[in-house]
Amino acid sequence: MDDDDEWFPEKLDLQVKEAELLGGHEVLIVSQYLEKTNSMQRIWPEKLPSGREAFSEYMYIERGQLLPSTFFVSASLANRFPFSKGLVFEDPDWLLRIAADPKLKIGGVAKPLAVYNNFQLPGRQSRNVPWRALFQWAMSRRELFTARAFSFFLVKSVVTAARESNAPLRERFFILCAALLLGSFSPKVFFFFFASAFVSRESKRKIRELVSPRARRARVSDVK
């Protein structure tokens, strides 16, 4: 559990029951969580992994933003797949690596079992990952992505990091070219590129809530 997150009292009980239903010894049980920011609260993610989709597509196309503080994992799996050292981006790296294991069984509890205190504070590590580090990581793990997921990761996550670090436009368009040449082509790739390159995270969230009933339902309340 991250030092600024919280668990609800029933977290472990519910995840143990889900693990027992799955059976076996190689399990990962996740859940929804309550995200709190400076301006709102919401239950997230909207959808939990089903095991039927490619995990990279769940993460980067279906907005599967799982919280490490919700993870319930078998000891045998944790021992076989330790976190990679030296990465700021270690959580998604670990998820993609274990999801490629055919022995893995993934389950989920569709209710919030943890609190993610995602308040914007100066110097927060997750908001200061250099875009080149994300790009190099994606290139090194390219075999764990589908072509579609690779393109979406570049134009959504890497381009967002480039914009937030005030990278020149030529560098943002370089990332787009890599997404098209090394991933897959679709109109959505261009849409997400322009959204990530020129629109702030908060503005994108507000736009999504305007057009998506699911995103509006996820909101719990405004923070006064």
| Residue 6: predicted pLDDT | 95
Q: Contacts for 43-46 with beta carbons within 8 Å, 24 or more apart?
A: 43/112, 43/218, 43/220, 44/116, 44/218, 46/214, 46/215, 46/218
Mind listing the pLDDT tens digit for each residue in 134-184?
Answer: 999 999 999 999 999 999 999 999 999 999 999 999 999 999 999 999 999
Q: How confident is the model at residue 221 (pLDDT cuts 50, 70, 90)?
A: low
| Residue 209: predicted pLDDT | 77
Count the neighbouring beta carbons within 10 Å of the beta carbon of residue 125.
7
CB of 146 closer than 8 Å to CB of 68: no
Tokens, residue 31: 């859940």
| Residue 122: predicted pLDDT | 52
pLDDT over threshold 60, residue 222: no
Q: What ranges do the domains of the chain cover?
A: 6-117, 125-222
* Stretch among 51-55, 109-113, 198-202, 214-218 having the lowest mean pLDDT: 214-218
| H/E stretch holding 176 | helix 169-182
Q: What percent of the chain has pLDDT over 70?
A: 95
Mind listing the pLDDT tens digit for each residue in 17-50?
Answer: 999 998 877 899 999 999 998 888 999 999 999 8
| Residue 127: predicted pLDDT | 55
| Residue 224: predicted pLDDT | 47
Q: What percent of the chain has pLDDT over 90?
A: 68
